[in-house]
C-alpha cells in the first residue's frame, strides 16, 4: 500500500497503489479527468479508505491503482473566479485524443523473433512507448500519456466522471459490458449506453482499441491472444452532487465491484439494483436550444418522456414579440431524461436535455459524444 506523488510536466498527481505489482486482476480507477467532476474524486477517496482497511486485513488479492483526481492541469483553471473543467485552456477536451499505441507496439513486436512475441512483451513495449510520450509534447499530452501508462495492462479500467446535472449512467462497449454489469448493479445505474467508438480516442476506449490491433497481430503467430482491457466511463450524477452520504455509498459500491472481480477478498455489502435501460449511443437524443434565453426545465432527472413531450421552456428576454418570447423545447423520441444543462442562461444550439431511448428509437442516427 503506497501513496506516491507523480510529477507530470511540473504538476503532480497522487497515485494510491494496493497489492503486488503484476498481481491479477489489475484494476485501474481514476477520477475527475475533466477536472471539475469531483463527485468522482470523493467516491474514490472513500474507496482508498476502504482499501487501506482491506490491505491491513490482508484482503487485497489483485493489483489496484486509484487516482482520485487525475488532472492537476485542469484543477488549477480558475478564470475570473470560475473553475473551468472539461477543456484545457488551449481548447482541447481532456478526454479526447489519447495516444493510439497499438500500431507502434505491433511495429516493435515485429522486430522480435516469433517466439518472443508474447503478451508479457506487449506489456513491456507498451509501457516503454507510453513512458517516452510522457517526456515530450504539450502538458496535456504528457498528462494523457502518463495516465495511460499507469493504466496500461489493466484487466479493468473505470474512468469516473460526472455530467452537468444527471442521473447515474455508464458508457462502455458491447465487448466490455458483461464485465461492467456488476458495477451497474451495485450502483443501481438506470441508464447504460453502449458504443464501440463513442468519440475521438477517449481514455476508456484507447486501451481496448490498442489490444484489438495487438491481438490481431498475435493471432498470426503462436501467442494465444487472450488479453484485452475492459474499460468504462462511470458518470457519478452531476457536478454539484457532492456530499458525504453519496461519497460513502459510491465508495462502497466500487469496493464491492472489486470484490466481484476477485481483486479484494470479502463479502459484498451493497444491494443489487434494478435492471438498467441498456441502449446504444445512437439512441441518445440531444435536445438543443432553439434560441438564446432562460431555460426552465420541466422534467426531473430520471423521468420517462414520450415523443413530442415538452421537456423545457425557454424565455427569450430579447424577443420583442410577446407571442414569440416563450418557446417550447420538444423531444423527437421518447426515453429517460438522464442529463440536463446545469446553467439556466443558455445560447442557441446548446444541449439542454439528453434522453436515452430504446435501441429501436435510434432511427438510423450515427451519434457521437458531445465535445
Ligand atoms: Zn467527464
Encode pLDDT of 216-253 as tens digits. Answer: 998 887 777 678 899 999 999 999 999 999 999 999 99
Encode pLDDT of 131-153 as tens digits. Answer: 999 999 999 999 999 999 999 99
**Same-domain check for residues 44 and 69:** yes
With bands split at pLDDT 50, 70 and 90, how would you rate the model's confidence at 359?
Answer: confident
Calculate how far, in angstroms, residue 34's C-alpha sits from the geometric centre of ligand 1.
5
What are the contacts of 223-228 at 24+ separation with CB within 8 A? 223/117, 223/118, 223/119, 225/119, 226/119, 227/119, 227/122, 227/155, 228/175
Calculate how far, in angstroms, residue 93's C-alpha sits from the geometric centre of ligand 1.
9
Calculate how far, in angstroms, residue 33's C-alpha sits from the geometric centre of ligand 1.
6
pLDDT reported for residue 360? 75
Calculate how far, in angstroms, residue 330's C-alpha sits from the geometric centre of ligand 1.
26
Domain count, the chain: 2
CATH number at residue 139: 3.40.630.10
**Same-domain check for residues 182 and 133:** yes
**Same-domain check for residues 205 and 327:** no
- Is 171 a member of any domain? yes
**Same-domain check for residues 77 and 92:** yes
The share of the chain scoring above pLDDT 90, in percent, equals 87
**Same-domain check for residues 292 and 266:** no
Range of the domain at 210: 2-275
pLDDT reported for residue 296? 98
Asked if residue 272 has pLDDT above 90, the reply is no
Asked if residue 364 has pLDDT above 70, the reply is no
- Is 20 a member of any domain? yes
**Same-domain check for residues 154 and 294:** no
Is-contact 67 41, C-beta < 8 A?
Answer: no
Calculate how far, in angstroms, residue 348's C-alpha sits from the geometric centre of ligand 1.
23
Which cell numbers in the block locate residue 316? 427569450
Instruction: Indicate the pTM of the whole model.
Output: 0.96
Asked if residue 5 has pLDDT above 80, the reply is yes
- Show which of 275, 295, 310 is a domain's final residue: 275
- Is 78 a member of any domain? yes
Give whole-number Cα distances, 119 to 34, 105, 107, 150, in Å.
Answer: 32, 11, 14, 17
**Same-domain check for residues 215 and 131:** yes
Encode pLDDT of 280-310 as tens digits. Answer: 999 999 999 999 999 999 999 999 999 999 9
CATH number at residue 290: 2.40.50.100
**Same-domain check for residues 42 and 177:** yes
Calculate how far, in angstroms, residue 45's C-alpha sits from the geometric centre of ligand 1.
18
Amino acid at each position: 500500500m503506497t501513496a506516491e506523488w507523480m510529477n507530470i510536466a511540473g504538476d503532480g498527481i497522487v497515485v494510491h497503489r494496493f497489492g503486488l505489482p503484476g498481481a491479477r486482476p489489475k484494476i485501474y480507477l481514476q477520477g475527475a479527468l475533466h477536472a471539475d467532476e469531483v463527485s468522482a474524486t470523493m467516491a474514490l477517496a472513500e474507496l482508498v479508505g476502504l482499501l487501506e482497511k482491506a490491505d491491513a486485513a490482508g484482503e487485497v488479492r489483485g493489483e489496484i491503482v486509484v487516482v482520485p483526481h487525475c488532472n492537476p492541469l485542469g484543477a488549477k483553471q480558475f478564470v475570473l473566479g470560475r473553475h473551468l473543467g472539461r477543456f484545457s485552456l488551449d481548447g482541447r477536451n481532456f478526454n479526447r485524443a489519447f495516444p493510439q499505441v497499438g500500431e507502434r507496439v505491433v511495429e516493435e513486436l515485429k522486430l522480435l523473433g516469433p517466439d518472443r512475441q508474447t503478451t508479457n512483451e506487449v506489456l513491456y513495449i507498451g509501457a516503454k512507448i507510453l513512458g517516452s510520450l510522457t517526456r515530450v509534447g504539450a502538458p496535456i499530452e504528457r498528462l494523457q500519456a502518463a495516465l495511460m501508462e499507469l493504466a496500461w495492462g489493466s484487466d479493468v479500467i473505470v474512468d469516473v466522471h460526472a455530467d452537468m446535472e444527471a442521473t447515474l449512467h455508464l458508457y462502455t462497449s458491447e465487448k466490455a459490458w458483461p464485465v461492467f454489469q456488476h458495477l451497474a448493479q451495485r450502483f443501481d445505474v438506470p441508464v447504460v449506453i453502449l458504443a464501440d467508438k463513442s468519440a475521438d480516442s477517449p481514455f476508456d476506449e484507447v486501451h481496448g482499441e490498442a489490444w484489438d490491433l495487438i491481438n490481431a497481430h498475435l493471432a498470426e503467430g503462436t501467442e494465444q491472444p487472450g488479453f484485452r482491457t475492459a474499460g468504462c466511463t462511470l458518470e457519478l450524477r452531476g457536478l454539484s452532487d457532492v456530499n458525504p452520504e453519496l461519497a460513502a455509498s459510491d465508495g462502497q459500491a466500487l469496493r464491492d465491484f472489486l470484490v466481484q472481480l476477485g481483486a479484494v477478498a470479502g463479502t459484498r455489502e451493497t444491494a443489487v439494483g434494478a435492471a438498467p435501460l441498456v441502449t446504444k449511443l445512437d439512441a441518445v437524443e440531444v435536445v438543443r436550444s432553439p434560441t438564446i434565453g432562460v431555460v426552465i426545465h420541466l422534467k426531473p432527472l430520471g423521468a420517462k418522456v414520450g415523443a413530442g413531450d415538452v421537456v423545457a421552456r425557454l424565455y427569450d428576454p430579447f424577443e420583442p414579440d410577446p407571442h414569440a418570447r416563450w418557446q417550447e423545447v420538444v423531444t423527437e423520441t421518447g426515453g429517460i431524461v438522464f442529463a440536463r444543462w446545469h446553467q439556466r442562461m443558455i445560447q442557441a444550439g446548446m444541449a439542454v436535455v439528453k434522453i436515452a431511448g430504446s435501441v429501436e428509437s435510434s432511427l438510423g442516427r450515427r451519434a457521437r459524444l458531445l465535445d
